[in-house]
Amino acid sequence: MRHVQGRARRAVAVVAAVLTWAGLLAGVAGCTEDGDRAGLGRMLDKAPAPEDVIRVTPEDKAEGASPDDRLLVRVRSGRLESVRVVRSQDAEETPVPGRISKDGLRWEPDEPRLALAARYTVDAVALDGHGRRSARHTTFTTYVPDKRFIGYVTPEDRSTVGTGMIVSLKFNRAIARRAAVERAVRVTAEPAVEIRPHWFGATRLDFRPEHYWKPGTQVTVALDLRDVEGAPGVYGLQRKTFSFTVGRHQVSVVDAARHTMEVRRDGALLTTVPVTAGAPKTTTYNGKMVVTEMLELTRMNGATVGFKKADGKGEYDIPDVPHAMRLTDSGTFLHGNYWADPSVFGTANVSHGCVGLRDVKGGGSDTPAGWFFDRSLVGDVVEVVHSNDKRVAPDNGLGGWNMGWTDWKAGTAVK
């Protein structure tokens, strides 16, 4: 009888032990954050897998992450020791700055938006809640947009220009989100001066100060357009800096009624040049125009600017116009003229809207046109007065000086 009772007591003890062990396992599984595997691992003093300790979003090997997706490294317990994130883009690797929170549970980048068309590499080291160290390495790539936009900058990088230069960006695609693009362009000057933007339509953004630049000013144009969404699904491509220097101050005033041009530098009169301006039926615009292009020789064909004969050919076609300086996008030039009778300069207006100075075929350095060309810069101002025509439009070439400062400032998209 005692033998039977002993066996019964041993059976009860075994059952109790099994139930106790099962209860412990159930308790572990029920109270741990990482589930059965991590709970058993802790009971057996086995370190959990790195992905159970260090969580990274976007997920490892994710493709096409949106720029609005959140980059986050975190642990549920313990603390992060170090996080290093590198962005690979355009064959360049750039560390991504960020910081670990005070409680050590999370790391976030300083810049919340992800770059487009980039590969991110994340390396993180953390201690779990039991002081065990884990390390994790993950990678993911971001969305590659089908449509990109860029801005073409005037003037050229590292150029020396006249005091009338206006910084002009022409975009290859229409910009719908103008405020975002405007914020990504910064124009600064040394010595400092207030510089304000003005939009002309959906593809052009100009910048200028209230008055002409001071000679010697250094101007910097910084484009941070990379990944800026300029229109739905259309993202910027550039991250680049341009700079230019403002030279001496030269303004030339063409009096179409008197057929003369006064050339003034730093306020002093250099000379008065006889000219011929637009004929009565093809008058020259009034107003302030800026030299945007200088060509030793160029071809001018009337058909390209609307002056056509009945047969569709241009009213003129001159293959070798010398000393040509562009004043407007619509085709107004100040240039040398060797084909007109010398007597018209200073006495009559015979051109199709351009301002002509006496010259010789091939261009001469000792002619009025050659003299003026050699003393001019892109960015110089040529102002026409007393012509029987309207004032040049502010967006025709760099005609922004014909707009008052209040109206100019109203052209910003950032309110």
**Which residues are annotated as catalytic?**
335, 354
Q: Smallest Cα–Cα separation from 368: which of 389, 388, 346?
A: 346
Strands 204-209 and 167-171: antiparallel
Strands 167-171 and 151-154: antiparallel
Q: Contact at 8 Å (CB) between 21 and 14?
A: no
Question: What value does the CA radius of gyration of the chain take, rounded to a whole number of Å?
Answer: 36
- Strand partners for 152: 170
- Compute the 3-state secondary structure of the chain and give helix, strand, coil in percent, each to the nearest 5: 15, 40, 40
Residue 138, phi then psi, degrees to nearest 5: -135, 160
User: How far is CA 98 from each of CA 57, 95, 366, rounded to the nearest angstrom?
Assistant: 15, 9, 64
Output the DSSP codes for 256-318. TTTTEEEEEETTEEEEEEEEE-B-TTSPPPBEEEE--EEEEEEEEEGGGGT-B-TTS-BS-EE
Q: Contact at 8 Å (CB) between 73 and 56?
A: yes
Alpha-carbon distance 363 to 347, whole Å? 22
Q: Contact at 8 Å (CB) between 273 and 263?
A: yes
Task: Enter the DSSP assignment of 391.
Answer: B
Classify 212 as helix, strand or coil.
coil
Q: Contact at 8 Å (CB) between 412 and 196?
A: yes
Q: Contact at 8 Å (CB) between 96 and 118?
A: no
